[in-house]
Structure 1
Amino acid sequence: MNDTIVAGILGLLEGLTEFLPVSSTGHILLAGHFLGFHSTGKAFEVVIQLGAILAILWVYGARLIHVFASAPQDPAARRFITAVLVAFLPAVVIGVLAHDFIKTVLFETPKLIAIMLIVGGVILLFVDHMKLKVKYDDAMGLPVATALKIGFIQCLAMIPGVSRSGSTIVGAMLLGVSKRAAAEFSFFLSIPTMTGAFAYDLYKNRDALSSDDLGLIVVGFIAAFIAAVAVVHWLLGYVSRHGYALFGWWRIIVGTVALIALMLGH
C-alpha cells in the first residue's frame, strides 16, 4: 500500500483514539507493523500527535484564553494552570531520561503492546464498575496535589499500549474525580504533555528526517486533527451517560486479535 495512504490511515487512527482510553500509540504502532509502515526513528507516530493537540485548542480555545486572561486576578484560574503544569512535570523528567529506551525497545515490541492493551482493558472495566466516591466534578478545580498524583500515573503510558488518556482517566477516577471531569482533565493535561513529546522527538530526529518523512507527517497531522475534533466533541457526553466499558472491551478485542496474529507469525 502507498505510504501516503497508510500515513492518512494512521493519522485518522491517531485522531480517533488519542483521547479515548484505548492507547493511540499502541493502535498506530500495531497498525504500522501489520501494514509494513516504518518511519524514521518512529518520529511519525509521535509528531502527528500535534494534530490532536490542535484539536483540543480548537475546541477549548476560547475557554483557555479566558482562563489565562483572568489568571492575574482569579486564584481559581491560577490554581488550574498550576495543577496542569505540576501534573506535566513527572512526564518531563521520566520522558527525557527514558526516551531512547522507549523508542528503541518498547516501541519495537508489538507483543508487549498487545498484552498491555488487554491488561489495560481489564483494569478499565474493573474501575468503571467500581462504586467510587466522587469528590471533584470540575476538571478545572482539582487540587494541585491531586493533579500531581495524576501526573505520576500518566507516566505509565510511556509503555505503549497502556494509553495516556486511559492512565490519567483511571488514575483520576480512583482519586475521586468524576468520569466526565477525568476525561476533561486528561484533555487539558494532553496539551503540555503531547507538545513536549512532539518537540523533543522532533529535536532528537532533526538530522534523520527527510522531505519524504515530512510529507507523510503533514498527511498524518491533517487526518489526526480532523478525527480528533470529532472525538473530543462526542466523548464527554458519551462517558457521562455510559462510562468507559465500551473502551475496555475494545482494548481487549484489539489486543487479543493482535496477539493471535503475532503468534501466527504475521
Structure 2
Amino acid sequence: MELFELLKALILGFVEGMTEFAPVSSTGHMIIVDDLWLQTKEFLGDGSANTFKIVIQLGSILAVVVVMWKRILSIIGLYKIEGQTTTKFNLGHVLVGIIPAGVFGVLFEDYIDENLFTMKTVVIGLIIGAVLMIVADKFGPKKPAITSLDEISYGKALKIGFIQCLSLWPGFSRSGATISGGVLLGLDHKTAADFTFIMAVPIMAGASGISLLKNWDRINMDHLSFYAVGFISAFIFALFSIKFFLKLIARVKLTPFAVYRLVLAAILIVILIN
C-alpha cells in the first residue's frame, strides 16, 4: 500500500480520535473528510470504506478503557476505588443503558450502512443534534440532582439508553445525544459524559465487531495496514481528547459545540448546493 494511502488512514484516525467523545459526531466528520477530500472508497470500495469508519472506533474504545480502567473494573467487581465505601453504579446500569441502541442497531444496521453514510444525512444529524443540545442546556435543571455515577438509577439509565438510539443516525453524535439526554434527566454534564463514555465501550465494540464480521469478505487483506494505521491513530488521539473533553464539558456545557455543529452544517449545505 502506498504511503499516501496510509496517510489517509492516519488522518481519518485523527478525526475519529479527536471527535469521538466530543458531541460533534465522529462518524459524521469522517464521512465529511472522506467524501470531500480523501475518497477512500476509490480503493477500499463502498462497503469496506464504511466498515473502516466503524472499526477504527475500536481504537477510541481502547483509549476509554485505558483512561477509565479503575471505574470499569469496579463496575464488574474487580477493583475497589480508594475512598469509596459503596459502588452503586454497576454492570446492570450499563446493560440497561445499552440494550435499546443495541437492539435498534442490529435491526437497522444494513439500512444505516447502505443509506445513511452520506453528506446529506450528516447535515440533518448535525442540525437536529445541535437543537437537542441547546434545549438540554436551556431547559435542564440549573442545579442537577445527580452529580456522580453512583446516583444514576436503572430507570434513568434506560431512558438515556433510548435517547442514545438517536445517534444511530450519522451526524447526530452518540455523546451529544446521551449527554443531552442525561442533562435533561437531571445529571450534571460531567456525570452524563462519564456515563456516555462507559456505555460506549460495549456499544461501539459490539457495533464494530458485527460490522467487521458481516463485511469481512469485502475487506482486502492488502488493506490490513490501512486499518492498523487508522486504529492506532484513533487510539493515540483519543487518549488526549478524552481527558481534555471531560474537563471542558464541565466548564462550557453543550451550547458551544451546538453552535459549531450549526456553522459546519451551514458550510456543508453551501457545498452541497454548489
TM category (shorter chain) comes to over 0.9
Deviations 1:168-215 (A, max 9, x none): 001111111111101111000101100110110111011111123322
Residue pair 2:76, 2:90 contacting (<8 A) in 1 also: no
Aligned to 1:136: 146
Aligned to 1:60: 68
Aligned to 2:126: 117
Q: What is the SS of the residue equivalent to 1:44?
A: helix
Deviations 1:41-83 (A, max 9, x none): 11000000001000000101133223423589x9964642101
Q: TM-score, normalised by structure 1?
A: 0.92
Aligned to 1:171: 181
Which of 23, 26, 29 pairs up with 2:25?
23
Q: TM-score, normalised by structure 2?
A: 0.90
Q: Which runs of 5+ in 2 are unaligned?
A: none
Deviations 1:140-169 (A, max 9, x none): 431011101111111111110110111000
Aligned to 2:245: 235
Deviations 1:129-150 (A, max 9, x none): 3351512111243101110111
Q: How does 1:11-50 map to 2 (within 5 A)?
A: 11-35=13-37, 36-38=39-41, 39-40=44-45, 41=47, 42-50=50-58
Residue pair 2:28, 2:171 contacting (<8 A) in 1 also: yes
Cα distance, 1:4 vs structure 2: 1.4
Cα distance, 1:244 vs structure 2: 1.7
Aligned-CA RMSD value: 2.0
Q: Which runs of 5+ in 1 are unaligned?
A: none
Q: What is the SS of the residue equivalent to 2:60?
A: helix
How many percent of aligned residue pairs carry the same amino acid?
38
**Structure 2 CA distance for aligned equivalents of residues 180 and 151 of structure 1:** 17
Q: What is the SS of the residue equivalent to 2:76?
A: helix
Q: What is the SS of the residue equivalent to 2:217?
A: coil
Letter of the structure 1 residue corresponding to residue 33 of structure 2: A
Deviations 1:101-148 (A, max 9, x none): 0000011x3112112212322331232233515121112431011101
**Structure 1 CA distance for aligned equivalents of residues 61 and 100 of structure 2:** 19
Greater shift, 123-132 or 197-206, is seen at 123-132
Residue pair 1:87, 1:189 contacting (<8 A) in 2 also: yes
**Structure 2 CA distance for aligned equivalents of residues 24 and 76 of structure 1:** 35
**Structure 2 CA distance for aligned equivalents of residues 140 and 6 of structure 1:** 41
Which of 103, 115, 123 pairs up with 1:105?
115
Q: What is the SS of the residue equivalent to 1:207?
A: helix
**Structure 2 CA distance for aligned equivalents of residues 156 and 75 of structure 1:** 36
